[in-house]
Amino acid sequence: MSKTQTVRVDRLLANMGYGSRREVQHLVHSGAVTLDGDAIEDADDRIAVTGDLSERMRIDGEPLDPPPGLILMLNKPLGVTCSHKEAGPLVYGLLPPRWRRRDPAISTIGRLDKETSGLLLMTDDGSLLHRIISPRNHVTKRYHVTLDRPLRGDEGDVFASGTLMLDNEDKPLLPVSMEVLSPTSAYVTLTEGRYHQVRRMFAAVGNHVVALHRDRMGALSLPDNLEPGAFRILTKAEIALILPER
Ligand code: URA
């Protein structure tokens, strides 16, 4: 029989960024933390961390943030960096400030360049992160590419060949599929995630990427109604679209 993990209320809330252990103990004693409508009296009560906790628990009348084990998709805008520490705007700055104090921390699942937009997944679940980025699981990533110059015609074959060697690398790229949309735009779908891979692939065939946007991972597409800079938590069904075998 599988046991649901339980955790002390003060530890859960402190780890979710609601304050220090002492601050959340005060919060509980003030009656601000309720479960199924009743105030929790003891901060050292243990509760089960289940997926429905945000619907059952309120803090000052507001639903609890998503409990640990979350995965979200962000429509990454241009000009923000996938890093915890670089200068300038960071993707973490697009999350609510309290979420940036969580332990375990929320991290990006892979990275997009500062000047790449689109579908970026983030999670606090380390094992899920590794399953998605592991080359063994072959999660596909689709990019819409806009080019500086018209395609010359052989790029699809070169990318699909499995023999294209990028500068300063010692292993050829795994095959990449390409769908031409216009003389200067295409979709490319890859399973690897090498540094600046798409830009370097087109540089290798004498072109230059002027805009790059990721719109799909596995069978999960970035929804049209998710504005640049906005994010939302994924449902179980959406997670299954990324890793169908889960
Ligand atoms: N390839 C790139 O060149 N940049 C990205 O951000 C993603 C893939």
Query: Which atom from ligand 1 is nearest to the alpha carbon of 116?
Result: 6
Question: Is the C-beta atom of 108 inside 6 A of ligand 1?
Answer: no
Note whether 30 and 131 are same-domain residues: no
Question: What pLDDT score was predicted for residue 102?
Answer: 97
**Residue among 66, 75, 60 nearest 12 (CA):** 66
3-state secondary structure 32-72: CEEECCEECCCCCCEEECCCCHHHHEEECCEECCCCCCCEE
> Residue 246 Cα, ligand 1 centroid: separation in angstroms?
26
Note whether 152 and 190 are same-domain residues: yes
Note whether 125 and 234 are same-domain residues: yes
Question: What pLDDT score was predicted for residue 51?
Answer: 85
Q: For residue 27, is it within any domain?
A: yes
Residue 198 sits in a domain of what CATH number? Answer: 3.30.70.1560
- Record the tokens describing residue 43, joined without a space: 């901060």
* Pocket mutation for ligand 1, best pick of 147, 167, 199, 210 (most atoms within 8 Å of C-beta): 199
Q: For residue 1, is it within any domain?
A: no
**What's the rounded Cα separation, in Å, for the pair 234 and 132?**
14
Nearest CA to ligand 1 atom 3: 196
Note whether 213 and 236 are same-domain residues: no
**Residue among 61, 64, 39, 59 nearest 49 (CA):** 64
Note whether 126 and 164 are same-domain residues: no
Domain, as residue range, for 99 = 71-135+220-242
CB neighbour list of residue 200: distance below 8 Å, 6 or more residues apart: 166, 167, 194
> Residue 40 Cα, ligand 1 centroid: separation in angstroms?
47
Query: Which atom from ligand 1 is nearest to the alpha carbon of 199?
Result: 3
Note whether 149 and 38 are same-domain residues: no
Question: Is the C-beta atom of 98 inside 6 A of ligand 1?
Answer: no
* Strand pairing category for 209-217 and 116-123: parallel
- Record the tokens describing residue 186, joined without a space: 């295409």
Residue 116 sits in a domain of what CATH number? Answer: 3.30.70.580
Note whether 84 and 104 are same-domain residues: yes
Note whether 213 and 160 are same-domain residues: yes
Q: For the CA atoms of 68, 75, 237, 175, what is the dihedral angle to 10 degrees?
A: -110
- Record the tokens describing residue 28, joined without a space: 């509980």
Quote the number of domains for the chain. 3
Residue 27 sits in a domain of what CATH number? Answer: 3.10.290.10
List the pLDDT tens digit at each of the 246 positions of the chain.
Answer: 456 789 999 999 999 999 999 999 999 999 999 999 999 999 999 999 988 999 999 999 999 999 999 999 999 999 999 998 888 999 999 999 999 999 999 999 999 999 999 999 999 999 999 999 998 899 999 999 999 999 999 999 999 999 999 999 999 999 999 999 999 999 999 999 999 999 999 999 999 999 999 999 999 999 999 999 999 999 999 999 998 654
Question: Is the C-beta atom of 45 inside 6 A of ligand 1?
Answer: no
Note whether 233 and 201 are same-domain residues: no
Question: Is the C-beta atom of 212 inside 6 A of ligand 1?
Answer: yes
Q: List active site positions.
A: 113
Q: Which residues partner with 141 through β-bridges?
A: 190, 217
Q: For residue 201, is it within any domain?
A: yes
Note whether 153 and 39 are same-domain residues: no
Question: What pLDDT score was predicted for residue 246?
Answer: 45
On whether the CB atoms of residues 60 and 114 are closer than 8 A, the answer is no
Question: What pLDDT score was predicted for residue 146?
Answer: 98
> Residue 26 Cα, ligand 1 centroid: separation in angstroms?
46
DSSP string, the chain: -PPPPEEEHHHHHHHTTS--HHHHHHHHHTT-EEETTEE---TT-EEE--TTHHHHEEETTEEPPPPSS-EEEEEEPTT-BS-SS-SS-BGGGGS-GGGGG-SSPPEESS---TTEEEEEEEES-HHHHHHHH-GGG---EEEEEEESS---S-HHHHHHTS----TT-SSPPPP-EEEEEETTEEEEEES---TTHHHHHHHHTT--EEEEEEEEETTEEPPTTS-TT-EEEPPHHHHHHHSTT-
Domain boundary among 63, 84, 108: 63
Question: What pLDDT score was predicted for residue 68?
Answer: 94
Note whether 46 and 87 are same-domain residues: no
Note whether 125 and 92 are same-domain residues: yes
